[in-house]
Amino acid sequence: MEKGRKLRILVAKPGLDGHDRGARVIARAFRDAGFEVIYTGCHQTPEQIVSTAIQEDVDVIGLSILSGAHTYSFPKVMELLKEQNAEDITVIGGGIFPLEDIPKLKEIGIKEIFEPGAKLQDITDWVNTNIQPRVAAAAL
């Protein structure tokens, strides 16, 4: 390995809510932390999110959601990743979640949930600490 890996993150907003200020702010924070951020805008279906994540070969999918539809979209994303043998892609979530939902989301494999008030620095630090660099494709 000559230079080391650059982390790639997909920031996606699943579902019908059109409030992407939070997603844009976190995309910017990831950019400033030195990551390559793929930003696809609002109204993404879980199918579109997973297809993009695979084509772009991201390390992390960050799902931003404020509508309450996480109980549908988050499990669907996890299911599709599994179907496509892409479970190695880490999924994290940010937005508004009822407290009792958070353990359920973690149970299905969402690695971390960031609620309102989470510091940008803490989120980028989390990514830097928890994401391991990819092995070479030739070794697969």
The Cα 46–Cα 54 span in angstroms is 12
2 binds another protein (CB under 8 A): yes
How many residues form the binding site for another protein (CB under 8 A)? 39
End-to-end CA distance of the chain: 16
5 binds another protein (CB under 8 A): yes
Phi and psi at residue 110, in whole multiples of 5°? -70, 125
> How near is the Cβ of 119 to another protein at its closest, in Å?
18
31 binds another protein (CB under 8 A): yes
20 binds another protein (CB under 8 A): no
Kindly state the DSSP code that residue 8 receives in the 8-state scheme.
Answer: E
Closer CB to another protein, 42 or 69, in the complex: 42
Secondary structure element (H or E) that encloses residue 87, with its range: none
What is the token pair recorded at 114? Answer: 């960031």
**Residue ranges binding another protein (CB under 8 A):** 1-6, 8, 27-28, 30-41, 44, 47-48, 51-52, 54-57, 84-86, 134, 136-140
